[in-house]
């Protein structure tokens, strides 16, 4: 039914307009306590065999929603209710900003992909913090992804990230430093170890000082050279970060300017995951994202050493039942293979 709706109706409308309409609908669901709880009871993952723990946080499943959808922490509870094991909100910047000019979000339906050049459009860290302080009506694991405000020069980036971290780290189940979006000028330069080290050290100091020590992860681009991936992995180990998220969108594609996500990113995302696992083993939590469409993809990432897996573009093409179906298929696969827990799958084929 959703495929028919998408092909006949949704694809005829501007992609960003449909996105905003979807967020508004989910925000409404988040504000309706009884309905939200009913939906959560029906669609959220409840199979004990799917539960995982990472960096001291308990997740109802290994599969969650990647950053980029809920930029302002407006509907995390609703997203949890419709089936995601965790929701990463953001990217949030210290100061509110409108992002890049429209149009800035494009479907590539033949490849089940999306190109975006949104530019971290969001209402700022203080606004996101106000929403995250609200009592959660359904269990929701919320990660917060922070980035650099566009108008802030590179030399002031550390202070900018620290401002966001101070607002958001105490309210997050985990915090992510995003230095890998292609849509903020100069941002990817911060992935260079000599620039990344002081940034991560400063944000980690904030995260470590929260009452329960907020776990800290860094998100990297798929376009990094292999030796740079190794360097970031070594730095993460040295600084005792909690994990690495791999990968963000890629700029290596034809067509509109911006970052490409979805099916074409799958091969590189898995390759980066395998390289990271070979470098760090199980000393860091690895979160795999990029080209995840179904339970087969999640299974592959778990086998390769990811503890958590995220998707986003797959929901655009799979519809609101996407996460529910994916978890149903994971549960069935565990039963079929006689595996008592999803944690027994993690790292089985890792180097």
Instruction: Give me the active site residues, please.
Output: 181
Residue partners of 254: CB distance under 8 A and separation at least 6: none
Handedness of CA 11, 17, 23, 29 (dihedral sign): negative
Distance of CA 6 to the CA centre of its chain: 24
Angle at the Cα of 223 (from 219 to 226), degrees rounded to 5?
90
Cβ neighbourhood burial of 91 (10 Å; 0-12, 13-18, 19+): buried
CB–CB of 187/248 below 8 Å? no
Best CA proximity match to 223, nearest among 177, 187, 172: 187
- Alpha-carbon distance of 106 to 213, in angstroms, equals 39
CB–CB of 261/249 below 8 Å? yes
């Amino acid at each position: 039914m959703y495929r028919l709706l998408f092909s006949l109706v949704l694809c005829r409308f501007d992609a960003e307009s449909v996105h905003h309409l979807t967020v508004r609908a989910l925000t409404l669901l988040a504000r309706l306590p009884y309905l939200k709880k009913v939906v959560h009871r029906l669609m959220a993952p409840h199979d004990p065999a799917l539960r995982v723990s990472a960096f001291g946080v308990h997740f109802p499943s290994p599969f969650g929603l990647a950053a980029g959808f809920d930029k302002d922490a407006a509907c995390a509870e609703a997203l949890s209710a419709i089936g995601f094991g965790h929701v990463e909100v953001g990217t949030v910047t210290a100061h509110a900003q409108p992002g890049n000019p429209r149009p800035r979000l494009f479907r590539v339906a033949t490849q089940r992909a999306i190109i975006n050049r949104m530019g971290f459009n969001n209402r700022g860290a203080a606004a996101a913090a106000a929403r995250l302080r609200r009592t959660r009506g359904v269990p929701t694991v919320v990660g917060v992804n922070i980035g650099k405000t566009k108008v802030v020069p590179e030399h002031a980036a550390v202070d900018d990230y620290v401002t966001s971290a101070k607002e958001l780290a105490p309210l997050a189940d985990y915090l992510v430093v995003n230095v890998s979006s292609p849509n903020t000028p100069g941002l990817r330069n911060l992935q260079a170890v000599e620039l990344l080290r002081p940034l991560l050290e400063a944000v980690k100091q904030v995260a470590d000082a929260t009452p329960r020590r907020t776990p800290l992860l860094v998100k990297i681009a798929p376009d990094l050279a292999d030796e740079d991936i190794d360097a970031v992995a070594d730095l993460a180990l040295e600084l005792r970060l909690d994990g690495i998220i791999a990968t963000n969108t890629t700029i290596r594609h034809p067509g509109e300017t911006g970052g490409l996500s979805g099916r074409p990113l799958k091969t590189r995302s898995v390759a980066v995951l395998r390289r990271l696992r070979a470098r760090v083993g199980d000393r860091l939590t690895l979160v795999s994202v990029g080209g995840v469409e179904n339970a087969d993809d999640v299974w592959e990432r778990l086998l390769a050493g990811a503890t958590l897996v995220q998707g986003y573009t797959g929901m655009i093409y799979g519809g609101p039942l996407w996460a529910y179906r994916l978890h149903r298929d994971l549960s069935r696969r565990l039963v079929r293979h006689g595996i008592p827990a999803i944690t027994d799958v993690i790292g089985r084929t890792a180097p």
